[in-house]
Amino acid sequence: MNKDIRLATSFKGHRKRKRLRRFLGDRSDSYLIDLWLTVAMDCPEGVLPGWDQMDIADACGWEGDPEELVSALIESSWLEKDSDGNYIIHDWCEHQGWACNAKSRSEAASKNILLRWVLRETKKENIPDVKKWFKSEYAYQKGHTTNDILSYYESYTNGNTPSPSPLPLPLPSPKDNNADSDESASRSSKKIYTTKSGKKLTGKRLETFNQFWSAFDYKHGKAPAADSWLKIPSLTEAMVKEIIAAAKIEASRRPALIKTEGSPKWAQGWLTERRWEDEAYYEDLKIIPMKKTMVYEVTDGS
């Protein structure tokens, strides 16, 4: 995670800064800097997938109308939208190169640690060809696929690898009995979905989220939406049915909204704002809102 951002000295008298102040008043600088700090931590590449105007207002610490804030940021060229409809910070990677590359630096560091371990182990066991060992012994480790590490290793050695050796090499945490192997296989076959914040969706919570995602039928911002799904307290079977029914209505209304150039609600915001409880959906369904009687309670599986 990023711990700081850069602030150019030219910001002091920048015309865009002055323009934003005309729109938002004397606290405009603090709103902008709070937004930058939040983006550096949560969206280091400067793209805000799944964010709506309220999310931006929360990041800025703005307590007024979110639309007023976002309009001011766009009008003063601090914020814009990409071709997919995501809000993005204008020229973020150009001005915040260190923050923007946080993910790639973390991945490179992880690979370097793994590569050093592999080189040490192959040397200890007198195995000259790391590539051969990977293919025979190494399937998956620390989130990197075999091909991922092989490619990195080849670039590290410029493609100059010695002749292969058939000698096997143990993994860092070897499984020496059948019970452990069966347990490992069971874990690997378990369906898991990782949310934007890194939490795990499994079991019933994952199953019901997939049902909602299919019903909502707007394939944008799935990972943030999964976080919002986890935040629904004491999710019950009755509540899931209620949410899915409302989601299907939302999906059926969306084409007309898009046709009139309206902005469809993303799943994350729709769930966070508990839109399934809006009376408009119950009018279409001709039902009374369900009482949240506990049928089952699921956890995030983490």
b/e per residue 101-139 (b: at least 16 CB within 10 A) = ebeeeeeeeebeebbeebeebbeeeebebbbbbbeeebe
Least confident among 23-27, 158-162, 190-194: 158-162
What whole-number distance in Å separates Cα of residue 214 and Cα of residue 248?
9
Reported as a single tens digit per residue, the pLDDT across 279-301 is 666 555 554 444 444 434 444 44
Report the phi/psi class of residue 20: left, alpha or beta, with left for phi > 0 and alpha for psi in -120 to 50: alpha
Q: What is the pTM of this model?
A: 0.41
Tell me, what's the pLDDT at 124?
A: 56
Reported as a single tens digit per residue, the pLDDT across 33-76 is 999 999 998 888 889 999 999 999 999 999 999 999 999 999 99
Residue type, 77: S
Reported as a single tens digit per residue, the pLDDT across 117-126 is 666 665 655 5
